[in-house]
Amino acid sequence: MNAETIMRTSYIIVAAFYCFLSGVSPSGASEPYGKQQEQATDLGKTLGILVEKASAFQTLKTDFVQEKEMAMFRDKLVIAGRIYLRKPSTIAWHVDSPLKYSVLITDTRIRQWDEDTNKTQELSLKKNPVFRNVLNQLSVWFSGDYRSLLETHDAVIVQKKPIVIEFVPKENALTKKIIKSITLTFRKDETYLKQIRIREVSGDVTTIIFKNTVLNIPLDGSNFEVRGHV
Amino acid sequence: MKHFIAILFVILHLSGCMKIPFREADRVPMSSQDAGIMVNRFKERMPVNFQLLSTIVFLYNWSQFSGIGYLDINAEKRAFKAVGINPMGVKLFELSGDEQGVVTHFALDALTRRGDLARAVGEDIRRIYFDLVPSPGAAVRRKKYEIIFSRTLEAGRIEHVFAGPGGELVEKRYYRDGTMDWRISYYEYQKQDGKSYPRGILLKNYRYGYRLLVKQKELYL
């Protein structure tokens, strides 16, 4: 896995994690100063509430449907699967269709498997500094220190009920060339994300819809097993 | 004994080591088939404009990678659009091609650093999805269970092999300088809205020593 793949892949992972974090920078540069301040206060309050609610879990299980609209194609590509997460830093991402694939990411290793090759690959984080960096960032987000995000994104509240927040990479952000915006839609109870939409500069739009999300559910080893997970 | 094991090892490796996950066409006598009618019927069943969602395994030496392929094919215009995506939904490359050439709209640096991705992928897409019927001037050779259409091209010779009760294309193979350059096998034709399409495809590129295993998941007509 090369750096750019990791960056793009991690961006999707990271995007999914946004539901449990909320470190964002007050934005609205084109607005008058007063309104900008008002928005910043609003955003700050909203994020404060979200951080409090969304950080109060240890484990998570959710189904997801990822819809990929590509500018060059007529029909959407749909990928469906499940995510299992255990704090502080273990996540299993299982894809059920159109192919069966699993990846397990921990603080020391990445392990992946797919049904077509029926091979399990394991990568050490020590030998993958880029991935290690990504996971370090995830840890930062989970710990609640969102200062790194403040440096890389502007954000605005698009809607209050349910809460919808749009993040735009800043001019100097590495992802600026790829990502146009990321829009998060929270559930009514604001404890987790309902949907995330990633708009790419290319015109592609990726929407990840989370379903059947359960927090603080007991998870066992099989949830984090990658080989033949189904 | 050591030599025998080594040879066996090489043979197993060259033969693919991987079990083909598709069923071959039933072997039925082809003596009563009219070659021209069979090809025309096959041509009528083939979709011309369609989109395909497939999973793809690329096998090279001991490496295996899998991903999702999304293709838009216009066989009449010999045009295509293709995107390769990793299983987590991350785009790896995006290409389009026609008679004029292939354009890379997006590709990860790591893929383009290793060679001309557009040319390689474009060539394989054309080999797999275009020219599925032999040209009218092809020579016909009959075997008990196969009808083989053969035509000499500028740089080599191409063969289309038809077999099975439905008289379907089961193999395309290309020879250069008397040796097989590449071979594509088509498996398990399925019907959809009056059209027919193989559920499995295996391309073996002998020149460069890689294989592509394509499993069709969805066909959008």
Domain range for A209 is 3-224
Q: What is the DSSP letter of A22?
A: -
Query: In the predicted model, is pLDDT for residue B12 greater than 80?
Result: no
Q: Is residue A229 part of a domain?
A: no
In this complex, the residue of A12, A13, A99 whose CB is nearest that of residue B55 is A99
Predicted pLDDT of residue A228: 57
Give residue for tokens 């500028």: B154
Of chain A, the percentage scoring pLDDT greater than 70 comes to 69
CATH number of the domain that residue A201 is part of: 2.50.20.10
Instruction: Kindly list the residues from chain A whose CB atom is less than 8 angstroms away from the CB atom of residue B96.
Output: 72
Average pLDDT for A78-106: 88
Exposed, middle or buried: residue A101 (CB in 10 Å: 0-12, 13-18, 19+)?
Answer: buried
| Whole-prediction pTM | 0.77
Instruction: Kindly list the residues from chain A whose CB atom is less than 8 angstroms away from the CB atom of residue B65.
Output: 117
The C-alpha of A99 sits at a distance from chain B's nearest C-alpha, in angstroms, of: 7
Q: Is residue A152 part of a domain?
A: yes
CA dihedral A67, A20, A228, A10 (to 10 degrees): 70
Q: How far is Cα B136 from Cα A195, in angstroms, rounded to an integer?
A: 54
- Specify the DSSP element, H or E, that contains A98: none
pLDDT band at B82 (very low <50, low <70, confident <90, very high): very high
Q: Tell me the per-residue pLDDT of A57-86, one tens digit each, with 9 for 90 and over.
A: 788 899 999 999 998 888 899 999 998 988
Q: Tell me the per-residue pLDDT of B120-157, one tens digit each, with 9 for 90 and over.
A: 888 889 999 999 999 988 999 999 999 999 999 888 99
Q: Is residue A60 part of a domain?
A: yes
Q: Is residue A110 part of a domain?
A: yes
Domain count, chain A: 1
Q: Tell me the per-residue pLDDT of B23-80, one tens digit each, with 9 for 90 and over.
A: 998 889 988 889 999 999 999 999 999 999 999 888 887 777 788 999 999 988 999 9
The C-alpha of A67 sits at a distance from chain B's nearest C-alpha, in angstroms, of: 9
Predicted pLDDT of residue A193: 81
Predicted pLDDT of residue A37: 59
Predicted pLDDT of residue A222: 87
Q: Is residue A230 part of a domain?
A: no
- Specify the DSSP element, H or E, that contains B126: helix B117-129
Query: In the predicted model, is pLDDT for residue A55 greater than 80?
Result: no
pLDDT band at A13 (very low <50, low <70, confident <90, very high): very low
Q: Tell me the per-residue pLDDT of B166-216, one tens digit each, with 9 for 90 and over.
A: 899 999 999 998 899 999 999 999 999 889 999 999 999 998 888 999 999
Exposed, middle or buried: residue A68 (CB in 10 Å: 0-12, 13-18, 19+)?
Answer: buried
Instruction: Kindly list the residues from chain B whose CB atom is less than 8 angstroms away from the CB atom of residue A99.
Output: 55, 66, 68, 87, 215, 217
In this complex, the residue of B65, B88, B105 whose CB is nearest that of residue A9 is B88
Question: Are A99 and B87 within 8 A, CB to CB?
Answer: yes
Question: How would you classify the pairing of strands B210-220 and B49-60?
Answer: antiparallel
Query: In the predicted model, is pLDDT for residue A140 greater than 70?
Result: no
Q: Is residue A129 part of a domain?
A: yes
Query: In the predicted model, is pLDDT for residue A52 greater than 80?
Result: no
Query: In the predicted model, is pLDDT for residue B11 greater than 60?
Result: no
Q: What is the mean pLDDT of chain A?
A: 74
CB pairs under 8 A between A and B: 91
Closest CA to B83 of B74, B72, B70, B96: B70
Give the amino acid at A132.
Answer: R
Question: Are B66 and A116 within 8 A, CB to CB?
Answer: yes
Q: Supply the ipTM of this predicted assembly.
A: 0.75
Query: In the predicted model, is pLDDT for residue A3 greater than 50?
Result: no
Q: Is residue A217 part of a domain?
A: yes
Q: Is residue A14 part of a domain?
A: yes
